[in-house]
Structure formats: C-alpha cells, structure tokens
C-alpha cells in the first residue's frame, strides 16, 4: 500500500519512514504514527508523519 496517499494512513499504524537527512541513503525508521502532518490528500514523496518516538519523516512503507 503506497505511503503517498493520506487515506491509507491512520493513527497507530506501523510504518517505515525516511527522515529528511536520510533521504540520500534511504535509511528507514520504523514506528507507529502519532500525528499526520501533511494536509493534502496525496504527496509524491510520501505523507509526512510523526511517529511515537517523536521522529518526523515521510512514509515509505505501511507495515500494518
């Protein structure tokens, strides 16, 4: 399921995100969605979220 559509992302969902400073390396961080920060229904690079550890990034994979 693509992380580029806001409708696919709910609070508490487990996701993998890429942080801004890890975009070149593609290093992913796993966590549960605490806050959805992107207001638009779609974003080509992934919906921006804050996970339970307080880290902000764009959703690359939805784990469940």
Residue-wise pLDDT for 3-60, tens only, equals 999 999 999 999 999 999 999 999 999 999 999 999 999 999 999 999 999 999 999 9
Query: What is the value of pTM for the model shown?
Result: 0.93
Q: Is residue 21 part of a domain?
A: yes
Looking up residue 57, the CATH number of its domain turns out to be: 2.30.30
- E strands in the chain: 14-18, 28-36, 48-51, 56-62
Q: Is residue 10 part of a domain?
A: yes
Give the number of domains in the chain: 1
Q: Is residue 57 part of a domain?
A: yes
Residue 1: pLDDT above 80?
A: no
pLDDT in the model for residue 13: 97
- What residues does 16 pair with on adjacent strands? 30, 61
Q: Is residue 1 part of a domain?
A: no
Residue with more model confidence, 64 or 41: 41
Q: Please give the residue range of the domain that contains residue 11.
A: 6-62
Residue 2: pLDDT above 90?
A: no
Q: Is residue 25 part of a domain?
A: yes
């Amino acid at each position: 399921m693509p992380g580029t559509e806001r409708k696919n992302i709910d609070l508490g969902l487990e996701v993998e995100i890429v942080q801004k400073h890890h975009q070149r390396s593609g290093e992913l961080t796993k966590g549960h969605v605490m806050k959805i920060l992107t207001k638009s229904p779609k974003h080509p690079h992934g919906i921006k979220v804050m996970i339970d550890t307080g880290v902000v990034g764009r959703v690359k994979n939805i784990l469940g």
